[in-house]
Structure 1
Amino acid sequence: MDFSLLLVVAVAATGVIWLADRLWWRPARLARLAAVSAEAQGEVDEATRGKLLKEPWPVDYARSFFPVLLVVLVVRSFLVEPFQIPSGSMRPTLEVGDFILVNKFAYGLRLPVVHTEIVDLGEPERGDVMVFRFPEEPSVNFIKRVVGLPGDRIRYEGKQLYVNGQAVAKALLEEGPAEAPRERLLEERLGEVAHLIYNNPQDPGPQVRELVVPEGHYFTLGDNRDHSNDSRYWGFVPEENIVGRAFAVWMHWDGGLPSFTSVRRIQ
C-alpha cells in the first residue's frame, strides 16, 4: 500500500470539498437564510437558523480533517518521515524493531508519489545512512550506508572495502560479542564518519572487483556485512530513488511494550 498516494488523495479530496463549500455551498446556505429572514421580517428562531446553516456531513469532516492531513503531508513529504527497521542488515548500528527518523530535505525536496526533485539542497555523502526505494522493487524501502559516490572506484575483497584504491580503515573491537557471538565487531571509518560493523569470519561473503560508480548513482553496503542484501548483489542506487538521510532512532518496539531507552543519533 502506497501511503503517500493515499495521503495525497485524502488531502485533495478534503481540500476540494472544503473549497467547494467556501465558494458555492456556504453562500447558498446564507442566501436561503436571508430569504427566510426576509419572509419572516427578520424574525428567525435559532432552531431554523441552525437547520439552514448546518453543514452537510462531508463538509463537516472535510473542514476538520483537511488542515491536519495537509500538515501531515507537508511534514512527511518534505521534512521528516518515520520508518521501522524490519531486518538485521544494518546491525549493530540499527536493530530489528528500531523506529527511525529520516530527514527528507537533506538531499533535496521531492514531490510525493512522483518523487520528482523540485529543489536541490545537497547530495549524499560517504558514510551517510540512507533510505531509498529498492531499484528492483521501488515500492519497497531499503536502508544502507553510502560507501561509494558518483565517480568513485569501489572494491570489496576479503571483507575489506577499498575506495579509490585505498583500504578503508577499520579496527577490531571485540571477537564474538554477546549480541552476535559468531561475528567480529569492528569500527570502520569512512572519511570523518566512524561506525560499527559486523564481519563473520566463517563466511567468505561476496567479492566485488573494482568498479566505477556511474554519475547519478551510489554504492551502498549494510553494516552487517555478511547478512545484507546491498549493492554487492544488485548494483547501484539511482539518485531518483533516494528517500532521505536517517539521523535518529526515536523508539524501539519488538512486539512487547515500546521502549525509549535506545533513543540516539545514527552514526
Structure 2
Amino acid sequence: MKALIRENKGFIVFLVLLGIFRTAFADWNPIPSASMHPNLLEGDVVFVNRVAYDLKVPLTDVSITRLGEPQRGDIVTFSSPKDGTRLIKRIAALPGDKVEMRGERLVINGTPAEYAVIGNATETIASVGDLQALTLNESNGKASYSIQLLPQIVAHRDFGPVTVPADSYLMLGDNRDNSADSRVIGFVPRKLLIGRAERILVSADIQGNWMPRTERIGMSLRSE
C-alpha cells in the first residue's frame, strides 16, 4: 500500500487539491429533477460559483468573510434545512421581505409580480402521464425569468403573508406546481447556501436518446 501511494503521490495530491478547490471556490451540480423547468432540464450540469456570496472554510458552513449579497432571481444551490439534501432553486424573497402567493401570483412587500404568457409545453409526470404546461415570464422587482405552471394538478398555490427572517431566503422552483421548495422545507438560512448557479456546463437528453444538447452548453442562468 505504501509503495502504491508513493508511486501515485502526484495524482493523489492533485485529487486532494481538486477536492479543496471544489469545496471552496467552484463546483458543478447535475440537475436530477423537473423542479426548475423550463430553465433547467434533467441532464443539465451547471457551474456553481461557491464564492459568489461567502468565502467558507472548506468542507464546512463556516463563513470567513462575506463577498456578495444574494439577489432576488438568483438560482442557488443549498443544503435543505429539512434533511441536508442538496437542492437547486431560485431566490424569490430576501431577508425582511413580506411575501405571499395568491393563485400562483407572487406578492413581495405588497407589490404583485408581473406576468406575461410565453406559450405552452408538455410536462411528463410519472404515474400521471403527459400534462399541458403553461410557460410565463415572471418579473419580480429587477429580476425577470421564465416559470412553468401545471393547472391540471393539485398544488400549493397560496401561502402567507409571511416575513422572511434575517439572514434567510425564500426559495421557489421555477416549475411552481412540481417543486418541493420553501413551501415544503421552510426558509433557507444563508449559512446553508452553497453557491450561485451561473452557467450550464454540459447537457444531455438523459430521458431520451442521451444525445448532447449542444445548444444549451454555456447558457447563462442569470436573471435579466
TM-score, scaled relative to structure 2: 0.87
Unaligned runs of 5+ in 1: 1-16, 18-55
Task: Please tell me whether residue 177 in structure 1 is matched to residue 121 in structure 2.
Answer: yes
Q: Distance in 1 between matches of 2:211 and 2:121?
A: 26
Deviations 1:105-160 (A, max 9, x none): 0011112322211121012111100100011111x210000011110001011110
> How far did 1:198 drift?
0.7
Task: Please tell me whether residue 165 in structure 1 is matched to residue 110 in structure 2.
Answer: yes
> How far did 1:179 drift?
6.3
**Identical counterparts, % of pairs:** 33
The partner residue of 2:7 within 52, 57, 60 is: 60
SS at match of 1:170: strand
Please list every run of at least 4 consecutive aligned residues from structure 1 whose deviation after the TM superposition is greater than 4 angstroms.
178-181
Unaligned runs of 5+ in 2: 125-130
TM-score, scaled relative to structure 1: 0.73
The partner residue of 1:188 within 138, 143, 146 is: 138
Q: Distance in 1 between matches of 2:116 and 2:149?
A: 12
Structure-2 change in CA distance of 1:199 and 1:57 (3 Å): closer
The partner residue of 1:114 within 55, 60, 75 is: 60
SS at match of 2:18: helix
Q: How many residues are matched?
A: 210
Aligned residue in 1 for 2:215: 261
Task: Please tell me whether residue 232 in structure 1 is matched to residue 194 in structure 2.
Answer: no
- In terms of fraction of residues, the more strand-rich structure is 2
Larger Rg: 1
The amino acid of 1:248's aligned partner reads: R
Deviations 1:41-80 (A, max 9, x none): xxxxxxxxxxxxxxx4432322x12441243134312222
Structure-2 change in CA distance of 1:149 and 1:61 (3 Å): same
Instruction: Report 1:92-171 matches (<5 A).
Output: 92-138=38-84, 140-171=85-116
Instruction: Report 1:197-236 matches (<5 A).
Output: 197-203=147-153, 205-206=155-156, 207-236=158-187
The amino acid of 1:59's aligned partner reads: R
Aligned residue in 2 for 1:79: 25
Question: Greater RCO between the two (CA within 8 Å, min separation 6)?
Answer: 2
